[in-house]
Structure 1
Amino acid sequence: MNRRAFLKRAAGFTMTLIGLSGGTFFYSREIEPASLHIQKENITSDNIPTTFHKKKIIQFSDTHLGFNYSIENLEKLANQINKRNPDIILFTGDLVDNPKYLKAQEHKPIIEVLSSLNAPLGKYWIYGNHDHGGYGTETILDIMEAADFTLLQNSHVEISSEQDTFILAGIDDLMLGKPDLDAALQQANPELFTVLLAHEPDFADEAVKYPVDVQLSGHSHGGQVRLPIIGHLYTPLYAEKYVRGKYLIDNQLQLFVNAGIGTTRVPYRLFCKPEIHEYTLQANLS
């Protein structure tokens, strides 16, 4: 960490401690983490097939099930997602905050909630860094498979509607997995509209070298605690360049970074509400 970054973070944490000593503490601990922001975005591309025009994709990420985010919270989230009537549902990693949580937690309620999510064109997911490691990797895979989610781990699928198709690809986690975008896109038609799921957003600087139109990521939590003027205080490795919102990389790759649902490290959110993304595909009909 350089001197400037250190001073910024130190000043930010000092201001946070002062602010959290009053009513802001209650708000950031109890109110904002329980709120939900629906971030609506249009994804426009000449490569989007016409039969996918107006199709809706919901992305959610970083639930971090555990001490600060319960199955009851997850159930409320699922209800909100189903109300949006998505055609496709995408989960971009970090189901649990710590895989050890799953040793003490009954898996059936988690499976039931995730199974209740409805999407006629499918439900897909990728690993996040908190999902990997020993017991968690295989257990989370079993849970997601039981809930009818398809894992994209250095692989892709073709999403079809009537006579048209687009590519949905996913890579393994950068931090604790073995990501391989070449393998993910192997035998994929590079002329088709292609969406990539990558947990860490900074991977976009690599993805832009490939025939990928859109990258969807999480991991950053949007900074989780943000202050006026200063902005976010901290983001994890591989979420330091692209933190929240929409970016256009080299005038080519559209990157969307979801601020996530749960919390990690500290159970606070400030000026950074939990969010899901609602994408509407926009084909060129002219």
Structure 2
Amino acid sequence: MNKPISRRTFLKKSFGTLAALTGLGIGGNYYAHNLEPKWLETKYKVISHPLIPKGFNGMKMIQFSDTHLGFQFQLRDLQAVVNKINQLNPDVILFTGDLMDQPNKYGSQQEIPTVLNQLKAPFGKFCIYGNHDHGGYGSTIYSNIMKESHFTMLQNTSTKLSLLTGEEIFISGVDDAMLGKPDFEKALAGIPDEVFTIMLAHAPDLADISRTYNIQYQISGHSHGGQVQIPFAGALVTPPYAEKYREGTYELDSLTLHVNRGLGTTRLPYRFLSRPELTVYEFKVGKE
């Protein structure tokens, strides 16, 4: 028979439970606000395909994305990322959009090129527009900053990576899906059919268009991996054009898509079960 508990014991146990729950709430808030947003994950991906020329075997590309400078991610954080990228010795560097959270309100615009110019990549640095780059009358602001930082802007256009052997691949980029005007036909114009082609698209759900073209790999950001994920339920919120493909790698017919979780935060200064990400891609000749 269960022994009745006294009012004093009941209050004591209730207070203990409340204190434990409060502690978990405070601890969870501290983790999501102060720890996980700084806990960078470096992901390594192999890009393997019969169209990749032998000379590109072992070439390394590094993607960073969605810094959202000025919200939670600051210039000192960008400097740390730049140092990390340089330590990894990339051949190519890719930035897939959303540099500043509100471009026209960010007060340290002139300092950004000083940091980004430290990035070294012998085959070039390339970028595309994200929705926040266009927002807040930011299109020209972003374009000028990236030009000063010696990035090549791929806004519905493409560029060729060529080796001394004459071997080549193409990197193409489309404008942002939300606030820009993505034009795949224009972006891919002049690319031969039998040449390996990478598409940079800020919005991952544009992969459903990429898969209808002669594109072998799409690299995206935008989603932040949901930024806050609920255990067993997944992302709390994902933005438009990142509702279908939220994070990680997808095989879509002849197209491979990788969605990077980005580095910064927006709207809420939290990350939970969605660590900031750098992605390192290495070319391997032939099929995986």
Task: Calculate the TM-score normalised by the size of structure 2.
Answer: 0.90
- Match of 2:102, as an amino acid? N
- Name the CA distance, whole Å, in 2 between partners of 1:20 and 1:123: 43
Alignment counterpart, residue 140 of structure 1, candidates 116, 128, 142: 142
Cα distance change, pair 82–284 in 1 and its aligned pair in 2 (3 A): same
Corresponding residue number in structure 2 for 1:126 = 128
The 1:20–1:110 alpha-carbon spacing in structure 2 relative to 1, beyond 3 Å, is farther
Match of 2:223 in 1: 220
**Contact 1:19-1:25 at 8 Å conserved across structures:** no
- Corresponding residue number in structure 2 for 1:12: none
Determine if the alignment matches structure 1 residue 89 to structure 2 residue 54. no
- Residues 15-62 of structure 1 show CA distances to partners (whole Å, capped at 9, x for unaligned) of xx9897220100000001011000101011001111100100000100
- What 5-or-longer segments of structure 2 have no aligned partner? 1-20
CA RMSD of the aligned region, Å? 1.5
- 2: distance between equivalents of 1:185 and 1:52? 21
Q: Tell me the percent identity.
A: 47
Alignment partner for residue 238 of structure 1, among 234, 237, 241?
241
Structure of greater Rg: 2
Instruction: Report the secondary structure of 2:33's partner residue.
Output: helix
Mapped contact 1:215–1:255 kept (Cα < 8 A): yes
Q: Does 1:33 align with 2:37?
A: yes
| Corresponding pairs, count | 266
| Alpha-carbon contact 1:48-1:193 (below 8 Å) kept | yes
How many angstroms does 1:109 deviate by? 1.7
| Residue of structure 2 in register with 1:109 after alignment | 111
SS in 2 for 1:130: helix
Any unmatched runs of 5+ in structure 1?
1-16
Query: Hey, which bits of structure 1, 4+ residues long, moved more than 3 A?
Result: 17-20
- Cα drift, residue 284 of structure 1: 2.2
What is the CA distance between 1:135 and its match in structure 2? 3.2
> Distance in 2 between the 1:100 and 1:115 partners?
21
The aligned amino acid for 1:100 is N
What amino acid is the match of 1:261? L
Shift of 1:108: 2.9
1:79 paired with 2:83, answer: yes
SS in 2 for 1:215: strand
Output the amino acid matched with 1:42. V
Q: 1:244 to 1:18 in 2, by over 3 A?
A: farther
Superposed, 1:158-197 pairs within 5 Å as 158-162=160-164, 163-197=166-200
Secondary structure at the residue paired with 1:57?
strand
Matching of residue 62 in structure 1 with residue 47 in structure 2: no
| 1:211 to 2:214 alignment | yes
Q: State the SS of the aligned residue for 1:124.
A: strand
| 2:201 matches 1:198 | yes
Q: What displacement does 1:134 show?
A: 5.6
Question: 1:67 is paired with a residue of what secondary structure?
Answer: coil
